[in-house]
Amino acid sequence: MSILFDSNSKVIVQGITGKQGSFHTKLMMEYGTNVVGGVRPGKGGEWFEGTVPIFDTVKKAREVTGANVNMVIVPPAAAVDAIYESVDAGIELIIVLTEHIPVHDMMKAYQYVKASNSRLIGPNCPGLLVPDVGKVGFMPGSIATPGNVGVVSKSGTLTYEVVYALTEAGLGQTTCIGIGGDPVIGTTFVDVLEMFENDPDTEKVVLIGEIGGRAEIDAAEYIKKHMTKPVAAFIAGQSAPPGKRMGHAGAIVSGGEGTAEEKIKALQNAGVRVARNPEEIPDLLK
């Protein structure tokens, strides 16, 4: 069993004709993802790769295909409107890969999504992957294998590294999710941890965090109060100087808050085994 995505999921891609959208859609299809349509205004009636219909609007794509997942891979200036359009069309799961969306715009989009029945993952995220079932986003399917470990991460690259290490150690995964590292995101660590806790097939969990903000502190509090499954974690940016943004827009330590030391201590106090480097995680789970 997986969370959020399974073999019945029907995916459309908003931005399917762009360079990145086209490239990653092809990889998703090759992996087995059920891509049922694409969206690009002015391109309605055309076909992608000869088999996937393109529509002018998300609403029309959903009406014709029954899509319940939309991968948004459009320029930053168009991304928030893409989120609004997806919500208005009734898309259940909206995965936004686009980065550099202004924080103020995302604050409004966040509230719009929260007032609906849709769920948003991202922005600025690698998407999700269910081994041997499908993927939506950038994650390389070749490194994953089915199993009982759930993975949730802020970082795309570290997600790949940890998933590969788990696979090499014989620890397969149920679902791998990149939630994104921007200051305002649609789905948090706590949201995903709750899903993994309630998923009967997920027996262990990996959390990959980073400096900045308090998402990992909130996760530690949730784990301490509610999680019955073992959790291993890694916090990136342990050597980052205060006041410097490291990679993600949300990865900045300000006023002494959001340090790696603070987050590691909170996680350890919650019973989480914290790795010194990503390669240690499989041993901590065993």
Question: Cα–Cα distance between 238 and 188 in angstroms, integer?
Answer: 21
pLDDT tens digits along 214-269: 999 999 999 999 999 999 999 987 655 655 555 555 444 444 557 889 999 999 99
Residue 81: Cβ within 10 Å count: 12
Tokens of 242: 């205060």
98, 75 contact by CB (below 8 A): yes
pLDDT exceeding 90 applies to what percent of the chain?
A: 88
Q: Which two tokens stand for residue 169?
A: 């150690």
Residue 256: both structure tokens together? 């002494």
State pLDDT tens for residues 82-108: 999 999 999 999 999 999 999 999 999
Mean pLDDT of 192-221: 96
Answer yes or no: is pLDDT of 188 > 80. yes
Q: Is a pLDDT exceeding 90 seen at residue 79?
A: yes
- Give the pLDDT band (50/70/90) at residue 127: very high
Q: Residue 2: is its pLDDT beyond 90?
A: no
- Closest to 93 (Cα-Cα) out of 71, 114, 110: 71
Residue 208 has a pLDDT of 97
CA-CA distance, 70 to 38, in Å (whole number)? 9
Is 158 within 8 Å of 199 (Cβ atoms)? no
Q: What's residue 259's pLDDT?
A: 87
Model pLDDT for residues 17-73, shown as the tens digit of each residue? 999 999 999 999 999 999 999 999 999 999 999 999 999 999 999 999 999 999 999
Ramachandran assignment for 244, one of left (phi > 0), alpha (psi -120 to 50 degrees), beta (any other): beta
Q: Which residue, 100, 73, 63, is CA-closest to 16?
A: 73
Q: How confident is the model at residue 209 (pLDDT cuts 50, 70, 90)?
A: very high
Strand order in the sheet with 231-236: 134-137, 127-130, 173-178, 146-153, 204-210, 231-236, 273-274
E strands present in the chain: 11-14, 35-39, 47-48, 52-55, 69-72, 93-96, 119-121, 127-130, 134-137, 146-153, 173-178, 204-210, 231-236, 273-274
Domains identified in the chain and CATH numbers: 11-121 (3.40.50.720), 140-285 (3.40.50.261)
Q: Which of 42, 34, 44, 41 is nearest to 9 (CA)?
A: 34
C-alpha dist (Å) from residue 103 to 35, 90, 243: 30, 24, 18
Average pLDDT, the chain: 93
Query: Is 118 strand, coil or helix?
Result: coil
Instruction: Determine the Cα–Cα distance for residues 179 and 187; give it in Å rounded to an integer.
Output: 6
Q: Is 100 a catalytic residue?
A: no
Q: Give pLDDT tens digits for 134-166.
A: 999 999 999 999 999 999 999 888 999 999 999
Predicted local distance difference test score (pLDDT) of residue 251: 47
SS (H, E, C) 14-66: ECCCCHHHHHHHHHHHHHCCCEEEEECCCCCCCEECCCEEEECCHHHHHHHHC
Q: How far apart are CA 160 and CA 208, in angstroms?
A: 11
Could you give the angle at the alpha carbon of 222 between the alpha carbons of 131 and 181, nearest 5°? Answer: 55
Predicted pLDDT of residue 253: 46
Q: What pLDDT score was predicted for residue 241?
A: 60
